[in-house]
Amino acid sequence: MDKNKTILVVGAGGFIAGHLIKRILENGNKVVACDIKPKEFWFQDFDNVENHYSMDMKDISNCMKVTNKVNYVFNMACNMGGMGFIENNKAECMQSVLINTNLLIASKENKIEKYFFSSSACAYNISKQDKVFIEGLKEEDAYPADPEDGYGWEKLFSERMCRHFFEDYGIQVRIARYHNIYGPYGTYDGGREKAPAALCRKVIEAKKKNAGTIDVWGDGNQTRTFLYVDECVEGTLRLFDSNCSDPMNIGSDEQVSINQMIEIIENISGISNLKKNHQLDKPKGVRGRSSNNDFAKKVLNWSYKMSLKEGLTKTFKWIENEMTREGSNISRFTKS
């Protein structure tokens, strides 16, 4: 990444964006950061950044203001969460389309050089994910369109909007489809947390209370691939530097069932044989999901390196520390 470029990160108070800003600052770039959340709810907050707290990017005048003085835009902003959130807040999720639309229009007006959009594996056709073990999803498997209801439709539509801004106006776009990114400085409680953080928290709570049982959504046989956040940032920056304007998977191919992931977390925690209370009425999402990473390997000459066990160990330690830390502000991680 050219050090002389000034970079706008939208959704800067969020999980992935916080890690991204850290890397961009290490590279020596100037950063402008904004988020709808007030200061106290940002996961990471860096001093040497022009921060805009409580700034709603659904409002085009805000988009115009912050794109005015930057070269590159990273749109990491959306109203989102794990299955517990996106299955019950479809209208909320779909309104994120305003962020991407207004930011693209403002980027065009202010002649932004390159625009990144953070899409999701939820953009994939759900009928291709109805078995426990599936072949990794290739980029073309998003069509014919039948994505996750609400959240996935917004992501697929916004991807397409990027494509047309590229085709019609020549804006350089880069689009990543993230596959369940996890790690420290992310939500682990309050309703928006995804499975890795939620299950770390539940195991930590069970250990603390000597409970012996944890609640698990679904039968636990559903599968996913998970990617550690540092790997995600690396893949994102490589994609950004590439010439690829098509959507690209940024994920791992270490496909595990939720039950297998719990076993890994139990090992990390030092306890074993927790009983699982499988809650079949809770949000489950697709039955099986896995990322095919051939396109990223070919175009970026890149693949993830960190095993799920290693990534979960780091995540577990961070969550455990947050849960036991004096003065830990749990609400920081739960605010919408």
Q: 156: which residues sit within 8 A by CB, 6+ positions away? A: 119, 123, 142, 145, 147
**Beta carbon of residue 170, minimum distance to ligand GDC (angstroms, whole number):** 29
Q: Interface with ligand GDC includes 120 (CB under 6 A)?
A: yes
**Beta carbon of residue 133, minimum distance to ligand GDC (angstroms, whole number):** 14
Cβ-contact 307, 173 below 8 angstroms: no
Annotated catalytic residue, options 151, 178, 182, 185: 151
Give the number of other Cβ atoms within 10 Å of residue 286's Cβ: 23
Which residue among 8, 137, 195, 264 contacts ligand GDC (CB under 6 A)?
A: 195
Burial 306-315 (b: 16+ CB within 10 A, else e): bebeebbbbb
Please report, as residue ranges, which positions from 86 to 105 form the binding site for ligand GDC (by CB under 6 A).
86
Only segment of 25-33, 49-57, 75-83, 159-167 that touches ligand GDC (CB under 6 A): 75-83
**Beta carbon of residue 167, minimum distance to ligand GDC (angstroms, whole number):** 26
Cis peptide before 184 (omega within 30 of 0): no
Residue 151 known to be catalytic: yes
Between 29 and 223, name the residue whose CB sits nearer to ligand GDC: 223
Between 51 and 120, name the residue whose CB sits nearer to ligand GDC: 120
Question: Which letter does DSSP use for residue 250 in this model?
Answer: E
Q: Is 25 left (phi over 0), alpha (psi -120 to 50) or beta?
A: alpha
Only segment of 38-46, 67-75, 77-85, 301-309 that touches ligand GDC (CB under 6 A): 77-85
Reference 77, options 161, 124, 24, 17; nearest CA is 17
Which residue among 108, 138, 284, 314 contacts ligand GDC (CB under 6 A)?
A: 284
**Beta carbon of residue 24, minimum distance to ligand GDC (angstroms, whole number):** 23
Q: Interface with ligand GDC includes 193 (CB under 6 A)?
A: yes
Please report, as residue ranges, which positions from 240 to 259 form the binding site for ligand GDC (by CB under 6 A).
258
SS3 at position 227: strand
Count residues near ligand GDC (CB under 6 A). 26
Q: Interface with ligand GDC includes 134 (CB under 6 A)?
A: no
Cβ burial, residue 278 (10 Å; 0-12/13-18/19+): middle
Cβ-contact 5, 69 below 8 angstroms: no
Which residue among 21, 63, 83, 173 contacts ligand GDC (CB under 6 A)?
A: 83
**Beta carbon of residue 126, minimum distance to ligand GDC (angstroms, whole number):** 11
Q: Interface with ligand GDC includes 218 (CB under 6 A)?
A: yes
For residue 104 the two structure tokens come to 């693209």
CA distance from start to end of the chain: 32
Q: Which residues are catalytic?
A: 151
Q: Which residues bind ligand GDC (CB under 6 A)?
A: 80, 82-84, 86, 120-122, 178-180, 193-195, 198-199, 216-218, 222, 224, 258, 282-285
